[in-house]
């Protein structure tokens, strides 16, 4: 006859499983993943590598001169449409200047664009302003 202590324990799984949120050390140490003051704004000169303006999450993929790939988070669809960004003829290889707040999530480098300059056209994507620059 075996005792209960000798029985193997399989652990909990399914709805009873012990689940925790895993965070990168950078995210765990930061109180807020997005810097909130204007001193933490970053200006990034880059080249467009992929365009996803009309997708579910409007973004641009860009490559900085140092070879780092960035995901540029754009405004909402309504904001992009009002600024004329959705109808803009963009091509991979176009130069872009992004001013915004950088974030880093588990190996992905992202920047929330507040101001975007493509060629000679400027777009103010900040939700607190109501006009294009």
DSSP 95-133: EEEEEEEEEEETTEEEEEEEEEEETTEEEE--TT--S--
In this predicted structure, what is the pLDDT of residue 6? 62
Residue 98 has what pLDDT? 94
Q: Exposure of 115 by Cβ count < 10 A (0-12 exposed, 13-18 middle, 19+ buried)?
A: middle
Q: Would you say residue 1 has pLDDT above 60?
A: no
pLDDT exceeds cutoff 90 at 72: yes
What is the H or E stretch that residue 95 is in? Answer: strand 95-105
User: Is the pTM of the predicted complex or chain greater than 0.85?
Assistant: no
Which H or E run includes 51? strand 42-52
pLDDT in tens, 77-116: 888 898 888 888 889 999 999 999 888 777 788 999 999 9
């Amino acid at each position: 006859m075996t005792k209960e202590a000798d029985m193997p324990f399989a652990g909990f799984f399914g709805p009873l499983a012990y689940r925790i949120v895993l965070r990168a050390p950078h995210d765990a140490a930061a109180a807020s993943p997005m810097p909130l003051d204007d001193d933490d704004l970053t200006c990034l000169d880059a080249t467009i590598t992929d365009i996803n303006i009309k997708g579910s999450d409007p973004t641009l993929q860009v490559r900085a001169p140092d070879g780092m790939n960035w995901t540029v988070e754009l405004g909402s669809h309504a904001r992009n449409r009002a600024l004329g960004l959705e109808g803009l003829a963009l091509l991979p290889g176009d130069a872009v200047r992004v001013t915004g707040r950088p974030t880093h999530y588990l190996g992905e480098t992202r920047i929330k664009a507040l101001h975007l300059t493509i060629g000679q056209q400027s777009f103010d994507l900040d939700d607190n302003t109501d006009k294009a620059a």
